[in-house]
Structure 1
Amino acid sequence: MNNPGPRNSPPTRRPTLYDVATQAGVSPSLVSLFLKDPGRISKKRRDAVQQAISELGYRPSRAATTLASSRTKSIGLVIDDYRNLWFVDLLRGMESVLSDLGYQVMLADSRPGENRIKEATDGLLAMHVDALVLAAEPSEAMLSGTWVPTVVAGWRNGIPEGADLITNDDDNGGSMAANHLLELGHVRIGHLSGSDGASAHRRAGFLRAVETAGVDPVVSKSTGTSEEDGYAAAVWLLDHHPDTTAVFAANDTMALGAFAALKARGLSVPDDVSVIGYDNSPLAKSRYLDLTSIDNRSDLVGVDAAHRLLARIEDPALLPERKLIEPALVLRGTTSIP
């Protein structure tokens, strides 16, 4: 037998389809048929091929599959920052639909900056992904559209031509956060905002709710949305408005920065200042932070994005759609009466 190496020692090369055929005592064409449609092979031969695959540790080549097909069975996902964990549920939702269909998600981190976003997207397109999900601010060059089906996940300052938009209703979510704090009795409320599209919608909803209630809010200048940005914005807020009793952060990562700023002032959460975040990310769910947050239902955004891309792959003539998903308030231990 032409085994790739002794069974009890590390293999000297990657096992091939021909090695599987030799090990199983069948033809290479039958192994190929097994990989495409195992139901067309007798149980005896199917079991023999499966046993050979397991023993050899054989993995089919995606590159070879691509050469035989116009599709790579891969979806590109561009995110804005690995440090902001909101995308975890988005990715989980996508994979819950795509994995069983043999698709894999290829992740690229763009970080802030137009060139980085374009580089990340171009890198995925160079790998011939079948479709794209943009969970980051598109660059100016990308607004003319891409040649693959594209879904924008979450509000952005610009939507590429021909792309679908599937997003949480951030305007309503911002109002939810404000109304929760108002119902608790807070009237000295500060908002830590960002400069991206989602932050703009959350800020608009927040302002609408507090102004309707006759409360004068304080909004930090629009910056980035990292933990460091949250810390700086909270420091500014506490310096200029020390009577603040509640803080609404544009996302959970910024809320973490606010925690640090409050701790540096000797203030406790929620006894001195209530804090509410947005995204209901793994940070918010941790028992240590126990952060009240607006759930942007990233999992459902991911599920719907995957279904929409599959539909666009099958029928490229479909017109782009926009869909809003309702957010939800998740109460934890960081908000209380003033």
Structure 2
Amino acid sequence: MMVAAVAMSANVMAKDVTIGAILLDTKGEWMSEVMHGMKKAGEDLDINVRIADSNADLAKEATIMDNFVVQQVDAITISPQNDEASAAAFDRAVNSGIPVVTWNSKVNSDNMKYFVGVNNYDLGKETGEVAVDYIQKHMGGKAKIAVIGTSKYSVGIERVNGFLDQVTKLPGVEIVARQDAEFQETGMSVTEAIMQAQPDTEMIWAWNLTSMLGAYAAVNARGASDIVMMGTDMSLDVARFMQEQNTVLKAVTTQQPFEIGYQAVKNAYELATKGKTDDEVLVPLKTYVSSEAGELKDYIESRDYL
């Protein structure tokens, strides 16, 4: 009887729990997977998950965070826009008594105790290792590389550093360009500018999915089939592009965004109901290469929910 009573009490408690989830934006398939993971966690835990999009706007992010505090949600999970600028709203939420789990990105605050995501340095490093192997085997140990990165997000800066630390070990590697781009449009325009200013570019690496898709579109539009592309984060389109015969897109290291979204909500729920959860959850990485057709096929077939 006692066990049944406890189980019933826990079930009622779960139904009354509301988690506020804040996304950087809702552009691209990566964020769609995160949202699917968050919603699935809500279904599995039988709780309310309120998902809000800060749309890459710091003021909007702060407003959403403050609104969640006013609404007295039980916990918040957020991918902060900026290490420093996101700290004030973050601290207001924690100081009001609402536990906060960061996912994907972090914030510089003594109140930041819980994180779900990946090691972003390793995310760049793993592609860098594949690039080194490719340069040695197919390019005679030499390559002129353009890097499309970011100076806005610490997660992107870490990825760039991880990639550069690997490829610059080769004495024959020259970094001919470093440009920032976040979304597909800027990824395309930046790549077009790089190819015009540095026509001898032989390899392009991009730090995130949307900038990589833009870079890929620019390379294809120019017919630059001699350029090798690598980057970060998979999508259905990326997998299909990698399946194409003689594709320029040779390797992509990816996170597992569905699992990140799921775990972020789960950990927030644990904080709300138990007062404790894992300080850090690092989701494993995966690198896909164009020569592994079976893995690309499996990736596509396993995402029928998108």
Residue of structure 2 equivalent to 1:302: 261
Q: 1:321 to 1:178 in 2, by over 3 A?
A: same
Show structure 1 runs of 5+ residues with no match: 1-35, 38-64
Matching of residue 255 in structure 1 with residue 212 in structure 2: yes
Partner of 2:229: 275
Q: How does 1:170-181 map to 2 (within 5 A)?
A: 170-181=120-131
Question: Cα–Cα, structure 1 residues 254 and 179, in superposed 2: closer, same or farther, change >3 Å?
Answer: same
Query: CA separation of 1:324/1:145 partners in 2, compared to 1, >3 Å: closer, same or farther?
Result: farther
Q: Of the candidates 118, 125, 131, which is equivalent to residue 168 of structure 1?
A: 118
Separation of aligned partners in 1, 2:15 and 2:92: 20
* AA of the residue aligned to 1:217: I
2:144 is the counterpart of 1:188? yes
In the alignment, residue 229 of structure 2 is paired with which amino acid? V
* SS of 2:231 mapped into structure 1: strand
Contact 1:170 1:327 (8 Å CA) reproduced: no
> Partner letter of residue 286 of structure 2?
A
Amino acid at match of 1:259: Y
Report the counterpart of residue 279 of structure 2 in structure 1: 321
Paired letter, 1:272 = D
Q: Could you tell me the TM-score, scaled by structure 2's length?
A: 0.75
Cα distance in 1 for partners of 2:232, 2:291 equals: 15
Structure-1 separation of matches of 2:64 and 2:227: 39
Task: Tell me the residue number matched to 2:189.
Answer: 232
Q: Does 1:141 align with 2:85?
A: no
Identity %: 21
**How far 1:188 sits from its partner (Å)?**
1.9
Q: Distance in 2 between matches of 1:83 and 1:135?
A: 14
Structure 2 distance, partners of 1:230, 1:259, is 9
Report the structure, 1 or 2, having the larger helix content. 2
Unaligned runs of 5+ in 2: 1-6, 244-248, 293-306
C-alpha deviations, 1:150-177, integer Å up to 9, x for none?
1111134645724411111111110111
Deviation (angstroms), 1:208: 0.8
Query: Considering only CA atoms, is the larger Rg found in Structure 1 or Structure 2?
Result: 1
Match of 1:155 in 2: 105
- Secondary structure of the structure 2 residue equivalent to 1:243: coil
Mark the CA change 1:86 to 1:234 in structure 2 (over 3 Å): closer, same or farther: same
Once the 2 structures are TM-superposed, how far is the Cα of residue 205 of structure 1 from its aligned partner?
0.2
Residue 101 and residue 322 in structure 1: after superposition, are their counterparts in 2 closer, same or farther (change >3 A)?
A: closer
Distance 1:82 1:91, change over 3 A: closer
> Quick one: distance in 1 between partners of 2:39 and 2:65?
19
Three-state SS of the structure 1 residue aligned to 2:77 is: strand
Equivalent pair of 1:145/1:161 in contact (CA under 8 Å): no
Q: Greater strand percent: which structure? A: 2
Counterpart Cα distance in 2 of 1:183 and 1:256:
23
Q: Alpha carbons of 1:100 and 1:325: their partners in 2 closer, same or farther (altered >3 Å)?
A: closer
Q: Residue 232 of structure 1: CA displacement?
A: 2.7
Listed as ranges, the matches of 1:76-87 within 5 Å are 76-87=20-31
Partner Cα separation in structure 2 for residue 114 and residue 227 of structure 1: 21
Distance 1:114 1:222, change over 3 A: same
If asked which structure has higher relative contact order (CA below 8 Å, sep 6+), I would say: 2
- Separation of aligned partners in 1, 2:89 and 2:187: 29
TM-score normalised to structure 1 length: 0.68
Would you say the 8 A contact 1:227–1:253 is kept in 2? yes
The correspondence of residues 97-108 of structure 1 with structure 2, limited to 5 A, is 97-108=41-52
Take 1:218 and 1:76, find their aligned partners in 2: how far apart are those partners? 43
Equivalent residue for 1:222, pick from 180, 192, 199: 180
- The answer on whether the counterparts of 1:252 and 1:283 sit within 8 Å (CA) in structure 2 is no
Contact 2:208 2:233 in 1 (8 A): yes
CA RMSD of aligned residues (A): 2.9
Residue pair 1:280, 1:293 contacting (<8 A) in 2 also: yes
Of the structure 1 ranges 321-330 and 243-252, higher mean CA displacement relative to structure 2 is found in 321-330
Deviation at 1:143, TM superposition (A): 4.2
1:47 corresponds to which residue?
none
For 1:191, the aligned partner's letter is V
Partner of 1:83, secondary structure, is coil
Displacement of 1:319: 7.7
Deviation at 1:71, TM superposition (A): 7.7
CA–CA separation in structure 2 for the residues paired with 1:106 and 1:132: 9
- For the residues of structure 2 that align with 1:128 and 1:283, how far apart are their CA atoms? 40
Report the secondary structure of 1:148's partner residue: coil
Whole-Å separation in 2 of the counterparts to 1:201 and 1:81: 20
Q: Which of 132, 139, 158 is the aligned partner of 1:201?
A: 158
Matches within 5 A, 1:26-175: 72-138=16-82, 139-146=86-93, 147-156=97-106, 158=108, 161-175=111-125
Aligned residue number for residue 246 of structure 1: 203
